[in-house]
Each structure stands twice: as C-alpha cells, then as structure tokens.
C-alpha cells in the first residue's frame, strides 16, 4: 500500500491530511448505545476514553450528524461497550454497514441493561454505563462527558481498528 506523502508546506487539504494521519493510530473498538426500546440506537467508535477516575468519568466523541446524536441528547445516557475480537460483526452493524439503523442494529446479539437502561452487550469485554454530565459542541462533533454509573468487566482480547480495517491485539 502506498500512502501519499504531503510536505509540511502543503496545507491545501487539511481534512484529508488529518484523516490520512489518523489512520495510523490503532484504537480499541467500542459500540456506544443509547435510548430504550424502539427508540434506541448506537454507533461504533474508537473515540471512547476515560476522563477521570475521581470521579469516574468517560468521554465519547459523536458526530452531530449521526442518527445516534439526538437519542443521546434525549435520553441523556450512553453505554460504552468495549468489543472483543469476536465482535467484529457487531462493530460493523453499529457502523451502519448495509444501511442498518436504530433498533435493527441490536439484532443478532444478546443485550441487557445496567443502571441507566442503556443497552449492554452480553459478552463485551467491558461495559461502562454512563449518565450524561455535559455536552460540548465543536464543529461537526460533540464531546459527551458521562458520569460512570455502573461497570461490568468480563475480560478478553480487544478488537482494534487501524489502517481502515479491524484486527486483534497480539501480546508480545
């Protein structure tokens, strides 16, 4: 694979250059779920991180054009479902492959709830259930800060994403 190299002086397409650069950052894959019943949806992200342990707080970044955005705003909760290497199909479904939206994204997997009623994937290597504390809207995205209400840890090998494809973590 050949990657175009842009000189530092070539800033004609910052967005594409940033996208090209960020493809080199491998990240853990999570499915963010929100809503209840037929008013639930979710999205696949590599942008879920802990903000603080005192108090326990998470950050997720959500495109404000995504179908999940108004659901997170309405229900003011989300669950970070950290996926294992066996969950690639779940990741692809929540990424909107084949145009699947809303509650249809939950098909083919078993789900439960914890404190906020956001959906928790049975078998996720970990799930972090959060109540929205704050929204910070910037440009095309929102930073969603969530107060951790419940955590479930099952363990396992994480699903990772980098260079436009899924993979798994190999211990050294």
- Tell me: the pLDDT tens digits for 149-159? 999 999 999 99
What pLDDT, on a 0 to 100 scale, did the predictor assign at position 172?
A: 63
Paired with 147 in beta bridges are 57, 131
3-state helix, strand, coil in the chain (%, to 5): 20, 45, 35
Worst-scoring range by mean pLDDT, 23-27, 78-82, 166-170? 166-170
Question: Is the pLDDT at 171 greater than 90, yes or no?
Answer: no
CATH code of domain 28-161:
2.30.110.10
Q: What residues does each domain of the chain span?
A: 28-161
Question: pTM value?
Answer: 0.90
The full length of the chain comes to 172
End-to-end CA distance of the chain: give it in Å, rounded: 25
Structure confidence at residue 98 (pLDDT)? 85
Task: List the one residue out of 85, 26, 63, 70 whose CA is nearest residue 142.
Answer: 63
Q: Tokens in use for 56?
A: 């326990």
Q: Please name every residue paired with 34 in a beta bridge, in sequence order, or none if there are none.
A: 41
Give pLDDT, residue 12.
Answer: 55
For tokens 């229900």, the residue is 75
Give CA separation, 72 vs 87, 114, 153, in Å: 23, 16, 23
């Amino acid at each position: 694979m050949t990657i175009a190299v842009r000189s530092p002086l070539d800033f004609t397409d910052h967005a594409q250059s940033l996208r090209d650069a960020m493809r080199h950052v491998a990240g853990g894959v999570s499915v963010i779920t929100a809503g209840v019943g037929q008013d639930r949806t979710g999205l696949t992200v590599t942008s879920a991180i802990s903000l603080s342990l005192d108090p326990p707080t998470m950050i997720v970044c959500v495109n404000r054009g995504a179908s999940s955005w108004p659901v997170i705003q309405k229900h003011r909760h989300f669950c970070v479902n950290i996926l294992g290497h066996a969950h690639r199909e779940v990741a692809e479904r929540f990424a909107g492959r084949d145009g699947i939206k809303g509650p249809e994204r939950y098909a083919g997997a078993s789900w439960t709830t914890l404190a906020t009623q956001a959906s928790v994937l049975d078998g996720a290597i970990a799930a972090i259930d959060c109540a929205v504390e704050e929204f910070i809207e910037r440009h095309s995205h929102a930073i969603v800060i969530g107060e951790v209400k419940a955590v479930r840890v099952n363990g396992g090998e994480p699903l990772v994403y980098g260079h436009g494809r899924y993979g798994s973590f190999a211990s050294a």
